[in-house]
Structure 1
């Protein structure tokens, strides 16, 4: 990806970037940039049929990317969603996760890391990428306590 590209990829870890909404026609550029996994956290009811999970799955598969659809409706985080995101992130290769702004994908990443990294580090990484997760700090800390 070059500076002039339309996608706004924000690196959270060496193997994970998050992004605002990605279009099917942008997926081949992700594969060319070295990404191997596409994680769609945007619910279908937020997009039209030409950008829904079926269209994105087809674009990802055509580009040779593994694809995960883990829709995250604002304010509706579930343990199953966190577990699915963790599974998608555990696989090999560079990954990109997206939603409307990249925030929900960042929230899910942080929740998958709760208990394995200090909450302060997770919040700092998110902030460095432009996402303020201070509002979910209590949830990160609660998950960390349960996982200890």
Structure 2
């Protein structure tokens, strides 16, 4: 598991497993957001099983599965609601890209596009292709 902090209250990571949960708890994470659809790759933990273990360990759990490139307004709104829970929050998918993309889209009404792109870049993600969509959302604030 490779955790990449984005802000003081939000990080992204690649696939989390049940074996990672105690480490995440020790690091202080309170909320987990899984952005992987089940069955994406062989051997990937099922979201329901991971959710049960995470909840048993006291995490808030949200499953907002995203197929590559399909960032619906509903998924962005659901992600924004999940962010409003207990902090800090860790969102994860296969590489972290879908999670940070959802985060940026959910934050676009609150923060300038350039700031969001900069935070993503500092965490190792190039979201420059998302700039037009972020700018439109930022302009509505």
What is the TM-score with the length of structure 1 in the denominator? Answer: 0.90
**Aligned counterpart, 1:19:** 13
Q: Against the structure 1 CA distance between its residues 48 and 67, is the aligned structure 2 distance closer, same or farther, given a 3 Å change threshold?
A: farther
How far has the Cα of 1:45 moved from its partner? 2.6
Q: Does 1:56 align with 2:68?
A: no
22-31 vs 33-42, greater mean Cα deviation = 22-31
Q: Which runs of 5+ in 1 are unaligned?
A: 1-6
Q: Does 1:81 align with 2:75?
A: yes
**Is contact 1:70–1:85 with CA below 8 Å preserved after alignment?**
yes
What is the TM-score with the length of structure 2 in the denominator? Answer: 0.94
Q: Against the structure 1 CA distance between its residues 16 and 137, is the aligned structure 2 distance closer, same or farther, given a 3 Å change threshold?
A: same
SS of the counterpart of 1:51?
coil
**Aligned counterpart, 2:91:** 97
SS of the counterpart of 2:39?
helix
**Is contact 2:32–2:62 with CA below 8 Å preserved after alignment?**
yes
How far has the Cα of 1:48 moved from its partner? 4.6
Give the whole-Å Cα distance in 1 for the aligned partners of 2:78 and 2:109: 17
